[in-house]
């Protein structure tokens, strides 16, 4: 009972912070549909009432002040939580269909939340009807086809727990607390934040798995999707459904609501990994080790170094992973030889090592924005610029607000990470698979809603500086596609999907002629 009270109180605090933020939200942070109507004095109550009558006993409708409502609308970043008219947890695809039909008929804005990691207000939150996929929570292994069917409401924690001891695994999230749906539909899902002592940091581009070097992105390992189309029909999408298959692979929520993902299963034995914390005095040595690591040919090895400044105090957190039972000789030695503040590396099952990595701080009230700079490699010159940006913006943000963080993820991968999908199966993202792009993530966190605009502008400026540094380094990335799950609000869809935009618009119009999915936020075609 004590835990429930504590979590409820935390959610109430989060919602109060969010309510203040709503009045300050920039216009383009909200949904972009022009045909939304407010159908009664309280907002969208009649749509809520219709949904309550239409759904089966497998689903549940909740209203403000209920515990379930708070859970349904909560996001890990308070800046992306909105107070909706009601929330609904559908329990069957048929009920999802009924809900979509009502929302389309009443022209009611809505949002679909899986793990709740979107940092953009209005993408998985709404003032209309909040749909929480929480009840789609099954994990089913099919040994005959070497696939795993996963409900769209699960976290990767749940999936890995279900697969623990089976000898199988899937290409999914790298840290606890990340949702299955956002990761898989966008190629990945945004980062999370956690504190250990005085150190706060973010970690891991979530479409780019610990197993990506070996098997590609999460979207490259989907066998089929079970989805509800905008008109309420249920459809299983496979590669032979050429257009929808293309659109769902990185195209987010433009084509309907996915209720289940069937993923290819891969053998899983014991692994080695963990995180290590370093002081800023070791930045130069870390930079040298990162540059050298990019020459590693073993596809089982991955790292995520994150440069951080919490309240102006700099540090570095390094996440390391090896898909084998013990520490491999030579690969991580340079990092491990550097004096550190804390180390958690160990061998164990995938679940054991995965659980070491810091989990999402859901109830802290932290506000967050992400941005991304795609790069081809991390040179010493580029890393030096990133270090300078960390120190500069860490200090600047600390002058604005207590508890701020400036964080920069370095994400080196194998050069062939985009080649795991057949040429006959292109995807919405990445629009160009001829070269690898590493989705360097920039993350700024703060607590006071009064500084939303200043933080957004600071992040835009830092993004420009890092991209310019990559171009000056000789990298042809001036027009490289931005990773959608890291893109800052206001990013044009052309920056994410490039030459794929016309085809994606045509598919969306054909699948959704009544523009039902435009009632939800997100990057819209």
Task: Answer yes or no: do 97 and 165 share one domain.
Answer: no
- The answer to whether the CB of 67 falls within 8 A of the CB of 111 is no
Indicate whether 113 pLDDT > 70. Answer: yes
User: What is residue 208's predicted lDDT score, i.e. its pLDDT?
Assistant: 81
23 — pLDDT class (breaks 50, 70, 90): very low
**Residue 487 contacts by C-beta under 8 Å, 6 or more apart in sequence?**
370, 371, 372, 495, 496, 523
**Residue 155 contacts by C-beta under 8 Å, 6 or more apart in sequence?**
115, 173, 176, 177, 178, 179, 180
pLDDT of 197-232, one tens digit each?
Answer: 444 444 444 468 999 999 999 999 999 999 999 999
Indicate whether 406 pLDDT > 50. Answer: yes
Q: Which residue has the tokens 């310019």?
A: 468
* Mean pLDDT on 222-246: 97
Q: Is residue 243 part of a domain?
A: yes
Q: Is residue 517 part of a domain?
A: no
User: What is residue 405's predicted lDDT score, i.e. its pLDDT?
Assistant: 94
Task: Answer yes or no: do 102 and 162 share one domain.
Answer: no
* Mean pLDDT on 420-437: 93
User: What is residue 360's predicted lDDT score, i.e. its pLDDT?
Assistant: 53
Is 7 or 235 the better-scoring residue by pLDDT?
235
Q: Is the dihedral of CA 428, 432, 438, 443 positive or negative?
A: negative
φ, ψ at 86 (rounded to 5°): -160, 170
33 — pLDDT class (breaks 50, 70, 90): very low
Tokens of 457: 């502008």
Tokens of 488: 């800052």
Task: Answer yes or no: do 45 and 91 share one domain.
Answer: yes
Last residue of some domain: 217, 235, 267? 267
User: What is residue 5's predicted lDDT score, i.e. its pLDDT?
Assistant: 33
What is the maximum span of the chain, computed from C-alpha positions, in angstroms?
67
Burial of 313 (0-12, 13-18, 19+ CB in 10 A): middle
Q: Lowest mean pLDDT of 16-20, 359-363, 500-504, name the range.
A: 16-20
Task: Answer yes or no: do 316 and 237 share one domain.
Answer: no
- pTM above the 0.85 mark? yes
- How far is it, in rounded angstroms, from Cα 54 to Cα 48? 10
> What CATH number is associated with residue 65?
3.30.43.10
Q: What percent of the chain has pLDDT over 90?
A: 80
pLDDT of 95-111, one tens digit each?
Answer: 999 999 999 999 999 99
pLDDT of 311-367, one tens digit each?
Answer: 999 999 999 999 999 999 999 999 999 999 999 999 999 999 999 997 655 445 789
User: What is residue 190's predicted lDDT score, i.e. its pLDDT?
Assistant: 42
- How far is it, in rounded angstroms, from Cα 122 to Cα 229? 21
Indicate whether 2 pLDDT > 50. Answer: no
Burial of 241 (0-12, 13-18, 19+ CB in 10 A): middle
Q: Lowest mean pLDDT of 121-135, 191-205, 209-223, 420-434, name the range.
A: 191-205
- How far is it, in rounded angstroms, from Cα 437 to Cα 478? 12
Domain residue limits at 75: 2-132
Give, in degrees to the nearest 5, the angle at Cα 470 between 311 and 184: 75
* Mean pLDDT on 84-97: 98
Mean pLDDT for the chain?
89
Q: Is residue 524 part of a domain?
A: no
Q: Is residue 525 part of a domain?
A: no
């Amino acid at each position: 009972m004590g835990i429930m009270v504590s979590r409820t109180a935390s959610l109430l605090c989060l919602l109060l912070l969010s309510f203040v933020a709503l009045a300050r939200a920039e216009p383009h942070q909200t949904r972009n549909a022009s045909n939304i109507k407010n159908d009664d004095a309280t907002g969208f109550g009649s749509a809520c009432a219709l949904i309550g009558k239409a759904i089966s006993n497998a689903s549940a409708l909740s209203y403000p002040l209920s515990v379930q409502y708070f859970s349904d609308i909560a996001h890990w970043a308070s800046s992306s939580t909105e107070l909706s008219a009601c929330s609904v947890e559908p329990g069957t695809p048929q009920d999802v269909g009924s809900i979509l039909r009502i929302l389309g008929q009443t022209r009611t804005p809505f949002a679909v939340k899986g793990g709740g990691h979107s940092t953009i207000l209005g993408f998985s939150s709404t003032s209309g009807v909040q749909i929480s996929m929480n009840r789609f929570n099954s994990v089913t292994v099919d040994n005959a086809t070497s696939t795993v069917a996963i409900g769209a409401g699960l976290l990767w924690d749940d999936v890995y727990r279900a697969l623990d001891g089976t000898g199988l695994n899937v290409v999914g999230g790298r840290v606890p607390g990340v949702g299955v749906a956002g990761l898989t539909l966008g190629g990945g899902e945004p980062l999370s934040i956690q504190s250990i002592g005085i150190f706060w940091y973010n970690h891991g581009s979530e479409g780019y798995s610990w197993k990506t070097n070996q098997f590609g992105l999460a979207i490259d390992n989907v066998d089929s999707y079970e989805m509800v189309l905008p008109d309420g029909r249920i459809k299983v999408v496979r590669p032979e459904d050429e257009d929808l298959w293309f659109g769902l692979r990185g195209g987010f929520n433009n084509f309907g609501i996915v209720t289940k993902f069937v993923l290819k299963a891969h053998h899983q034995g014991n692994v080695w990994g963990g995180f290590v914390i370093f002081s800023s005095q070791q930045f130069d040595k870390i930079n040298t080790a990162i540059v050298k690591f990019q020459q590693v040919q073993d596809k089982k090895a991955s790292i995520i170094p994150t440069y951080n400044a919490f309240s102006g105090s700099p540090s570095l957190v390094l996440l390391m992973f090896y898909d084998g039972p013990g520490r491999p000789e030579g690969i991580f030695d340079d990092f491990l030889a550097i004096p550190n503040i804390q180390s958690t590396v160990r061998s164990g099952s995938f679940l054991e090592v995965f659980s070491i990595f810091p989990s999402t701080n859901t109830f802290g009230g932290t506000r967050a924005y992400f941005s991304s700079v795609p790069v081809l490699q991390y040179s010493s010159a580029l890393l030096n610029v990133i270090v300078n940006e960390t120190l500069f913006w860490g200090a600047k943000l600390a002058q604005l607000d207590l508890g701020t963080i400036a964080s920069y993820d370095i994400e080196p991968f194998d050069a062939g990470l985009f080649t795991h999908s057949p040429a006959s199966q292109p995807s919405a993202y990445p629009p160009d698979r001829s070269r690898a792009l590493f989705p360097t993530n920039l993350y700024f966190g703060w607590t006071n809603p009064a500084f939303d605009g200043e933080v957004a502008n600071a992040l835009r400026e830092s993004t420009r500086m890092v991209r310019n540094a990559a171009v000056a380094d000789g990298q042809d990335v001036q027009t490289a596609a931005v990773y959608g799950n890291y893109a800052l609000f206001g990013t044009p869809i052309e920056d994410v999907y490039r030459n794929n935009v016309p085809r994606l618009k045509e598919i969306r119009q054909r699948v959704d002629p009544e523009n039902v999915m435009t009632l939800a936020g997100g990057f819209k075609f």
